[in-house]
Structure 1
Amino acid sequence: MNRPDEVPVFSLYGERLQWPVDDLLHCESIFARSRLHDFNIRAHRHMDLMHVLLLDSGPVSLGIDQRRHQHDGPLLIRVPPLAVHHFRFSAETRGHILTLSAPMIARLRQRLPEAAGWLDEGGWTALSPSSPVLELRDEIRREFEGRAHGRETMMDTWLCALIGKAWRLDMPRRQARRQPASRAEQHLAQFQHLIDARFRARPTITVLAQEMGISASHLNALCIKHTGRSALALLNERTLLEARRELTYTSMSITLIAEQLGFDEPGYFARFFKRYTGTSPSRFRQRG
């Protein structure tokens, strides 16, 4: 079995790339993704992403941290950030996977604080074929695949309803608890929360590390060891995600976006954006 520090850290299945879309939520079919890997998704984990898998039918063999399970759909599986997980599907397995970015996870925690512990521990919940959870999944899928006005708001609304319904459904059942997080995992989770709360102020890694009670070099070493990215890279990726969202979904001027993201000069923001995307903010907006 892989030790935690040997398990690869991916953005999506088998991808070491940055978050691939401008939405805070990504939706795709389990068949489309898993067939690229012969229906066997090997053990990996994510620094700042959460999976919610919704199977309509077909078998799955899954592992989340130290727990193993075999089941047939309909089924909901939740995989929190930092949890080591693997899946083996059948070619007949049908369903969809929702991947939630860090800002979306934070938004869910704010709107559904009672369900935060349930989301964090991960696990699985059997569903009925007519479950409203699956109907809400279909609403999210339609919004994600379309480009209708207000789609981000609608996806946010449907997702909140889906998680709330699933959490209520699971309340009477006793769920296996996650193993206590290691010290390193606690530090990484704390760092991710600080990034999400403070990135607009452009804090230094030294300042964030001091708030965590550790040195900047120790924090950076943890990030590199467990995510393959430096602490600064993780902070910059969060800023870049917000910049792409503002450029795509708002009409704010680039100068105002730069100011709200903590850049003293629009030119500095433009250089930052181009360094990570290969294009200027204005051309990125025109492309959309």
Structure 2
Amino acid sequence: MRGTTVLPGHGRNGGPDGKGMPMHRLEVPMPNALPFAIGTFDTIGAMSRATFPHRHTFHEIVHVTGGSGHHVVDLSRFALRPPNLCVLAPGQVHHWDAVTGLEGRVVLFTDEFLLDHPGDQSVLRALGRRPWLELPPQAADPIAHLIDELDAEYRAGAEGFASVLRSLLHILVVRAVRLAAAPAARPRPEPAGIERMYGAGSSRSGLVATDFMTLLGAPDTCPHSVREGARRLGVSVSYLSEAVKEFTGRTPGELIRQARVREAQRLLLRTELSVRQIAERVGVGDPAYFCRFFRRETGTSPGDFRRGGGDIHHDHRLESIARPQSSA
């Protein structure tokens, strides 16, 4: 990927004035940088505690250890009763409301980071439908310890740290699923009223966009074209394009290409399949074209990516969420 870890298009980058939903991106300073970041609300940046409704192009896990007020996610409003854990999927709308003393850490990553556990993509999107968890005493310390380990591993950047981060993140996701299954950890939300600000008519397009992202989450369901995706979802190509663009900031075609690249990277690193076989697996029959396609999307060749073991640039750390850009 070039320029950003995910969804490098401008999207609907409106401002906090109701003239367009802000779309925040996770900036990457160079190709092959790690599509992952962790830090406090201060080190990640002001956008991590934005007080106006906005969407992200990345996954976000928020561990709240202090503060009062409310966190609004989609159409629900949750009271801060630390410790809390919040799991947000790309495209979800959220903001902080009348919050004071906010403390904790934020974990940001993209689908590309889930090479070892691609199934976590759909799990994380399912968690996003019940995003706010109150941590009981028996779960609070283990979750805090996991967050500490993620932070320490990320800061140290020692050899093999990317694999360790992926493993720790997978454990965090699994434990979040277990917590979400416990009714006591899921507080009853209050209505948020966001539909009055941005219109309730967007719900169907949001479902279509979510279903499309679900299709992309597994190699055996990923469509090879926008037309195929629209047919499988029972909508027109134009409707699918509008819905996905609104909720992700990118076109369906771009997301399909991104999903193919993710699967190609996984196969290059985790199998001994030839480049020709991998090209066929991801729906690109011509190996030469596949190599050009892979280089264009990642900045490196399939062979170099495999030989390097998917290693990232040494300057892996990302400092903040990008501010929303003008859609002009």
Alpha-carbon distance in 2 for matches of 1:59, 1:208: 43
Pick from 31, 53, 65 the counterpart of residue 41 of structure 2: 31
CA contact 1:22–1:241 (8 Å) conserved in 2: no
Pick from 66, 79, 84 the counterpart of residue 75 of structure 1: 84
Relative to structure 1, is the Cα distance of residues 265 and 118 closer, same or farther in structure 2, using a 3 angstrom cutoff? closer
2:212 match: 191
2:107 match: 97
Alpha-carbon distance in 2 for matches of 1:50, 1:229: 15
Count of equivalent residues: 279
Normalising by structure 1, we get a TM-score of 0.73
Alpha-carbon distance in 2 for matches of 1:183, 1:75: 30
Alpha-carbon distance in 2 for matches of 1:127, 1:27: 26
Alpha-carbon distance in 2 for matches of 1:41, 1:196: 30
1:99-130 C-alpha deviation (Å, 9 max, x unpaired): 463895972487x7xx9865413224255495
CA contact 1:58–1:90 (8 Å) conserved in 2: yes
Query: Where in structure 1 are there 5+ consecutive unaligned residues?
Result: none
1:52 match: 61
Alpha-carbon distance in 2 for matches of 1:228, 1:96: 22
CA contact 2:64–2:83 (8 Å) conserved in 1: yes
Deviation at residue 65 of structure 1 after TM alignment: 2.3
1:176-197 C-alpha deviation (Å, 9 max, x unpaired): 2888971100111111112224
Pick from 64, 80, 85 the counterpart of residue 73 of structure 2: 64
Relative to structure 1, is the Cα distance of residues 39 and 163 closer, same or farther in structure 2, using a 3 angstrom cutoff? closer
CA contact 1:80–1:119 (8 Å) conserved in 2: yes
1:202-260 C-alpha deviation (Å, 9 max, x unpaired): 62211211111111122123223333322101111111223334445555443333232
CA contact 1:22–1:248 (8 Å) conserved in 2: no
2:180 match: 167
CA contact 1:35–1:91 (8 Å) conserved in 2: no
Normalising by structure 2, we get a TM-score of 0.66
Q: Does residue 1:275 correspond to 2:286, yes or no?
A: no
1:231 match: 252
CA contact 2:63–2:86 (8 Å) conserved in 1: yes
Alpha-carbon distance in 1 for matches of 2:65, 2:305: 37
Deviation at residue 142 of structure 1 after TM alignment: 5.1
CA contact 1:199–1:261 (8 Å) conserved in 2: no
Alpha-carbon distance in 1 for matches of 2:47, 2:166: 33
Q: Give the letter for the 2:207 counterpart.
A: Q
Alpha-carbon distance in 2 for matches of 1:59, 1:268: 54
Relative to structure 1, is the Cα distance of residues 183 and 19 closer, same or farther in structure 2, using a 3 angstrom cutoff? farther
Q: Does residue 1:216 correspond to 2:230, yes or no?
A: no
Higher normalized contact order (CA 8 Å, seq sep 6+, divided by chain length):
2
Report the 3-state secondary structure (helix = DSSP H, G, I; strand = E; otherwise coil) of the residue aligned with 1:6: coil
Relative to structure 1, is the Cα distance of residues 50 and 120 closer, same or farther in structure 2, using a 3 angstrom cutoff? farther
Pick from 22, 26, 31 the counterpart of residue 8 of structure 1: 22
Deviation at residue 68 of structure 1 after TM alignment: 4.0
Q: Which structure shows the higher helix fraction?
A: 1
Report the 3-state secondary structure (helix = DSSP H, G, I; strand = E; otherwise coil) of the residue aligned with 2:23: coil
Alpha-carbon distance in 2 for matches of 1:235, 1:82: 16
Query: Where in structure 2 are there 5+ consecutive unaligned residues?
Result: 1-15, 312-328
Relative to structure 1, is the Cα distance of residues 7 and 122 closer, same or farther in structure 2, using a 3 angstrom cutoff? same
1:261 match: 282
Relative to structure 1, is the Cα distance of residues 194 and 116 closer, same or farther in structure 2, using a 3 angstrom cutoff? closer
